[in-house]
Amino acid sequence: MALKIYWTKRAEKTFDDVVVYLSKDWSEKVVQNFVRKTNNVIGHISEKPRMFPSSKKIKIHIAVITKHNNLLYKITGTNQIDLLFFWDNRQNPKKLKF
């Protein structure tokens, strides 16, 4: 049974930020590819939420979308996944805030 996916405001904003960046600096095909990969990963998360690794301390999972973008999410109960935010791997990891 697929779990319910909830997009936090931060997830919506960071996703939109990636799409805007790709739209400005890359082609429409790259944008569509990113959106397709994101939807595929979210589908996998919904079906098998523990398939991506998590940190042991804070129980946040990290799913790779592309080599430059990850999606951080948390399993919040027995039937919901909270998408927390998208992270550009080229950023300084010290800026990573939960």
pLDDT digits (tens, 9 = 90+) for 61-92: 999 999 999 999 999 977 899 999 999 887 66
Q: What is the DSSP letter of 83?
A: E
Q: Is the dihedral of CA 80, 74, 57, 67 positive or negative?
A: positive
3-class state of residue 96 by DSSP: coil
Q: What is the pLDDT of residues 7-37, one digit of tens each?
A: 999 999 999 999 999 999 999 999 999 999 9
